Amino acid sequence: MSDRPSPLPCPSVAAPGRRAWLRRTIHLAGAAAWLAATGGLTGCGREPPLRVAYHPWPGYAPLELARHMGWWSNGPAIEAVRTASATQSVEQLRAGAVQAAALTLDEAIRVHAEGTPLVVVALFNQSVGADVVMGGPLPSGGVWRRGLRVGHEAGMVGELMAHTWLERVGLRYAEVTPVHITPDEHETAWSRGDMDVLVT
């Protein structure tokens, strides 16, 4: 008999238990983020809503589903701010336009290290999508060469993926042409042929 703990059951999205879990997640995460942002201090007047940024990505689908179902408004005052990419979410966070953002852990650590104080208030235990290096046909000779145009989102996990992949194919980052591009622009730029390789 295995000593490993059994995985938690994963009911269907339509199941009442799943809906209740999602509601609790949104409300508890919102309350925790509000406390982290305000220190728990309240005044006599109505507090402005906590603004939470997130971008289209399968891993953040529960946030969009909760917004669509109207669950954001059932707990503490929370406003969903949909952005086009993690880069935009970080920019809004740094500018003070939002008080919380959905980010990968590496993004949160980097932003915190660069001077924006952050506290992780909730974790999504499933990561879906991204982390793929895609390219067209290999050049003649079957080897990727210097000057290769490599598309990725600057400063995010895609940049780490680009470095790692280049090492695997025998190239250095300084030997290629980085094409910094956010995920919302991937499809159009790839269709135009703006790059030879793309980190999704």
Give 72-89 pLDDT, tens digit per residue. Answer: 777 668 888 999 888 899
Which residue, among 113, 23, 111, 19, has the nearest Cα to 102 in the 3D structure? 111
22 against 177, higher pLDDT: 177
Give a yes or no: residue 1 inside a domain.
no
C-alpha span between 117 and 132 (Å, rounded): 30
pLDDT tens-digit readout, 116-175? 999 998 887 666 556 789 888 877 777 888 999 999 988 778 888 899 999 999 999 999
Give the residue-averaged pLDDT of 36-65: 73
Question: What is the residue type of 19?
Answer: R
Residue 23: pLDDT over 80: no
Q: Are residues 137 and 109 located together in one domain of the fold?
A: no
| Structure tokens belonging to residue 200 | 């999704």
pLDDT at 175 (0 to 100): 95
Q: Are β-strands 133-135 and 197-199 bridged in parallel, bridged antiparallel, or unpaired?
A: antiparallel
CA angle 127, 130, 135 (to 5 degrees): 155
Give the residue-averaged pLDDT of 88-111: 91
Which residue range(s) make up the domain with 23? Answer: 16-113
C-alpha span between 50 and 59 (Å, rounded): 21
Average model confidence (pLDDT) across the chain: 78
Give a yes or no: residue 81 inside a domain.
yes
Q: Are residues 30 and 88 located together in one domain of the fold?
A: yes
Q: Are residues 108 and 20 located together in one domain of the fold?
A: yes
Residue 68: pLDDT over 50: yes
pLDDT at 81 (0 to 100): 92
Q: Are residues 105 and 161 located together in one domain of the fold?
A: no
- State what percent of residues in the chain have pLDDT above 70: 72
Residue that is written with structure tokens 């990419």 in the block: 85
Give a yes or no: residue 10 inside a domain.
no
Q: Are residues 98 and 23 located together in one domain of the fold?
A: yes
Q: Are residues 173 and 100 located together in one domain of the fold?
A: no
pLDDT at 19 (0 to 100): 52
CATH number of the domain that residue 143 is part of: 3.40.190.10
pLDDT at 6 (0 to 100): 38
Which residue, among 105, 88, 67, has the nearest Cα to 185 in the 3D structure? 88
C-alpha span between 93 and 38 (Å, rounded): 15
pLDDT at 13 (0 to 100): 39
Residue 18: pLDDT over 60: no
Give the residue-averaged pLDDT of 89-107: 91
Helix (H) or strand (E) holding 197: strand 197-199
Least confident segment among 65-69, 85-89, 93-97, 176-180? 65-69
Residue 44: pLDDT over 60: no
